[in-house]
Each structure stands twice: as C-alpha cells, then as structure tokens.
Amino acid sequence: MNATLRALNRPLLPGARVYLVGGCVRDLLLGRPIKDLDLVTDGNPRRLASAVARRIGGAPFSLHAELHAYRIAPRGGAAAPWVDVLPLTEAIEEDLRQRDFTINAMALPVPFDATGLERSLVDPCGGLADLHARRLRHTHPGIFIADPVRLLRAVRIAAALEFTLDPETEALVRRDAPLLPQSAVERIRDELFALLALPGSAMWVRRMDSLGLLSSILPETVALKGLAQNANHHLDVWEHTLEAMRQCEALLAGPALPEELRAAVAERLRQPLCAPRSRLALLLFSVLLHDIAKPQTRGETPEGIITFARHDSVGAEIAGAICRRYRLSKRETKLVVTAIGAHLQPGFLSVHEPVTPRKRYHFFRDTGDAAVESLLLSLADRLAARGPWATDAQVERHRRFVAEMLRLTLEGATVAHPVVPIGGRDLAEAVGCPQGPALGELLDALKEAVAVGEVSTRGEAILFARGWVSSRRRRQRSEASPARGQDASEQRRGSTD
C-alpha cells in the first residue's frame, strides 16, 4: 500500500460514509502500483476534499462544479497519485452496478483493514471472483451503449492485466463496435495510445481487429487485408504490418541491436513527446500505418511484378490526415509523417556500402527528431519481409547499417548533430552576407560542411562562407547575363521592325 493510501486509511469525514472505489481497489487487490485514487462519499464532497488535502499535503480544486467533483493534486510530484472525490447519490451497491466492468465495480469502506481486504469488500457484481479467474466481464449489457469508448477500454484493460474477455462481454463488444466512432476522438486516441504503450501491442491490435474495433476507428486498414505483395514479402500487407509491429517490439529485447544500444533506444522511447503519449507508442502507431498507401499505389510491371511506387510519400500524407483526425500534436504528427516517409531510405542506403558521411548527414537532416523512430521502423519493416527475394545477407546489411546510424545519433556524433562553430550574426558580418534567406542557405551549407568533416573551426567556417558567397554571386551574375543579352537582342529586333 503506497504512502498516500496509508495516509488516507483513517476516518476522514465524521458522520459520513467514505469509500475507495474503482480501478484503485482492483489494483490494490492485485498488488499492482496504484496510479490514482477515487473516493466517493454520501457526505459533503468539498469537506472531504479538504480533509484529503490536509492528510496528503496537496491542493484541492473543483473538477466539475455542478457534479461537486474535486481533485487533489499531491505535492509529491508526478510519482504520487492524484485523488478524486465525488458525491455518492445512491447506495454504494447501486453506484457500483453502473460502472463498466466487474473488476472495477468494487469498493472498500474507509478506513479498511489492510490485512483483510476481501472481508471488507463491497462487491455486488462478483468482481473478486472475476479477478481470481483473470476474467474481464461487463456489469450490465448497456455499458458500451452508455459509453462506447469502453469498447477500447475493454481491450486495453485485458491487455494491461493479461486477462481474457468473458464470452458474453466479447459478444457485446462485437455487437456494439459500430458505436465507437460516436465517442470523442480525443478519448479514442488516448485509449489507443495507452494500448500501444503496453507490451505485446501487436497481438492486441490483432484482437481489436477481430472484434471489429480497428475498422471502426481506422477504416483505412481494411483494404490492407489480403493485398498480395511481391516476392520480397511472405505475407500480405495486413499480416506484414502486424509482423512489423511484433518485430519492432522484439528489437528492444532481442539480439538484433547491441545491448548497450538497446538500452539507449529504450530510454529514448520511454520519453513522452506529448504527455502521456510516449515515443514508443508513436513509433508503433507509425509501424501500424507505414504501408497504409499500398492499396492506392499498387501496380504491376509488364512482367507481372507487383509494385507500390511512392507508397512511402503517399502513406505519409494519409498518416498525417489520420494524426490530425485524432488531434495529435504538431510534433507528434511530424514524427509519424517523417518516419513513414523515410522508412525505405535506410534500406536504399545500406545497399551502397560504404555509405558516405554526406549521405548519412542527409538522412539525419531530413528525419531530424524522428531519426531514431525512422531507423527502427525501417529495420522492423525489413525483418517482417522474408520472401524469396529477401536474402539473409540483405537483412544483415540493413541491420548493421541501422545499428551504426542509431549509434551515431544517440551518441551525438557530428555527422548526426553538427554544430556550426560561429553564430549567424558574426558570420554575416565576417563575409558581408546580409540577414535573410541567403544567410539561411549559407548556414545550411556550413552545417553540412561541418557534418562531413570539411569545417571544424571558426576560421575554417569563415573561409568556407567566403567561398560560398563568392560562388553564389558568380552564379547570380551568370544567370543574369543571358537575360540581359536577350533583352538587348529584342531591342535590336524592335528597332528594325
């Protein structure tokens, strides 16, 4: 039992009943970490919120004035659980029967005996028996009609707890799956990304698909099923997509990457890009969508070879629209779009060993903050394509190249993260280049020169810049000369007419 719960396990509101309810009771019984606490009372919720705040040293604020709902933000930082307080408007048993799943429909009176939790439990729906059976079961047949996002939550909770869906609950999910698009896109997004952040998400995406949920929220995936590919592949596009997701997760645990590199990659992917969505969840979302344009771009050569020309760039456009549909942030959308748009590039580069520093830099420049995710998507895609044209030598070359590139960017190598040794204003003054687009072009060229090892000092940067400015002026004069000659010729012709 965590410190917050210990602090609250005492009389909080004399003369009123107070109950701990919901997922925190479930997690307490399972011995799992408790993220948030939910309290209900038949007394005054505001007074209870104030009492809780005094106990844990937090600050209460109103969540919903009309519902008299309050939240207490703890002072213990992100690791400490939030506490929500709501009024109990009916008997506790009736309140619990209206919740989503039986394992979330249990309550403990506060204070409770921590050594005998099951004896104190209020459990009108049989949640404890389902907990012991590791089964997710609905509380009543209308739970998904009342709140369709519970359809996704059912799969997410089953995945998180490694529970099975009760057969009757599964039948309800299938029946009500078409209702899911009625939910707010932000809630759908949050449940989907919470699922993608869990281990074995590829298996659960398949489960979502079999239940009719995936086609409700990502109808673009339907056309991937049964779509044949060329001999680079041993699976159709949909099965290849799921295998690529599985391979992507395996990269973080298996031998495809050196151990120290896996640790650095895992640390990066744990980071949220836009809380609470992690880079890992965004990477797996990118893998899920990486071949989304293959139905639109499928073609055949005169010899009957299947092609998917520009499926990377077209797929990036489609993925961008999906990201915007689900209200992902601009940074998240850019990461997904970039990773999908670049997922073929590492394979192309790895064919031409040794890869020059300039080509390596161009990849890092073009992918930017999405370089790691682009590389991992590329390798997962390759590992999921084991048709007769895909040789072990090709796969190993691709794996080795991705590992090298990951090491370069994660270790801050100059080719991946060049730093120009002079500021833009100082450079402009030193070479007589005015502020504006020309200076931006110069700095870009200078950054590339640093990346490939042509420039490393301030003096070398100034020499490079002077040469670049001189070359640019000659080019401008050269481009202007034919135009002046043409104007003069037209004037001479005009004088003889």
Burial (0-12, 13-18, 19+ Cβ within 10 Å), 495: exposed
Whether the bond into 60 is cis, omega within 30 of 0: no
Quick one: DSSP state of residue 102? G
Task: Say if residue 7 is exposed, middle or buried (CB neighbours under 10 Å; 0-12, 13-18, 19+).
Answer: middle
The answer to whether residues 172 and 144 touch, using CB atoms and an 8 Å cutoff, is: yes
d(CA 452, CA 358): 6
What is the pLDDT, as a whole number, of residue 76? 62
As given in the structure block, the two tokens for residue 458 are 């301030």
pLDDT of residue 275: 86
Report yes or no: 344 and 312 within 8 Å, Cβ to Cβ.
yes
- State the pairing for strand pair 135-136/164-165: parallel
Tokens of 308: 């998917």
Are 25 and 35 a contacting pair, CB within 8 Å?
A: no
The yes-or-no verdict on residue 496 having pLDDT over 50 is no
Q: Whose CA is closest to 202, among 136, 144, 252, 262? A: 252
Q: Are strands 135-136 and 69-73 parallel, antiparallel or unpaired?
A: unpaired
Task: Give the residue, 461 or 1, on which the prediction is more confident.
Answer: 461
Strands (E), 204-312: 272-274, 277-278, 298-300, 306-308
Q: Which two tokens stand for residue 53?
A: 């705040």
CATH superfamily of 1-133: Beta Polymerase, domain 2 (3.30.460.10)
Q: Half-sphere exposure (CA, 13 Å, Cβ side) for 158? A: 23
Residue 348, pLDDT > 50, answer yes
> Which pLDDT belongs to residue 374?
99
**CA–CA separation, 14 and 342 (whole Å):** 62
pLDDT of residue 191 exceeding 50:
yes
DSSP class of residue 327 equals: T
Q: pLDDT digits over 211-244, tens only?
A: 999 999 999 999 999 999 999 999 999 999 999 9
Closest CA to 396 of 278, 255, 286, 280: 255
pTM, two decimal places:
0.92
- In Å, how far from its chain's centre is CA 273? 8
Q: Evaluate whether 85 touches 48 at the Cβ level (below 8 Å).
A: yes
| Arithmetic mean of pLDDT, 49-62 | 91
Which tokens hold the place of 4? 């917050």
Please report how many Cα atoms fall inside a 13 Å half-sphere around the Cα of residue 447, on the Cβ side: 16
Residue in 189, 193, 203, 316 with CA at minimum distance from that of residue 250: 203
pLDDT tens per residue across span 444-472: 999 999 999 999 999 999 999 999 998 88
| Of residues 293, 283, 318, the one with CA closest to residue 202 | 283
Provide mean pLDDT across the span 43-64. 91
Give the integer Cα–Cα distance in Å for 286 and 276. 17
pLDDT of residue 489: 55
Rounded to whole angstroms, how far apart are CA atoms 405 and 80? 38
**Where do the structural domains in the chain lie, given as residue ranges?**
1-133, 259-410, 424-496
Q: What is the CATH number of domain 259-410?
A: 1.10.3210
Mean pLDDT of 351-366: 95
CA distance 229 to 261: 32
What are the distances in angstroms from CA 174 to CA 211, 272, 415, 427? 5, 32, 51, 64
CA pair distance 248, 7, nearest whole angstrom: 42
The yes-or-no verdict on residue 78 having pLDDT over 80 is no
Q: What is the pLDDT of residue 127?
A: 98
Percentage of the chain surpassing pLDDT 90? 82
Whole-angstrom distance, CA of residue 379 vs CA of residue 381: 5
Per residue in 398-429, pLDDT tens? Answer: 999 999 999 999 999 999 999 999 999 899 98
Contact yes or no for 36/80 (Cβ under 8 A): no
Q: Is the pLDDT of residue 495 over 70?
A: no
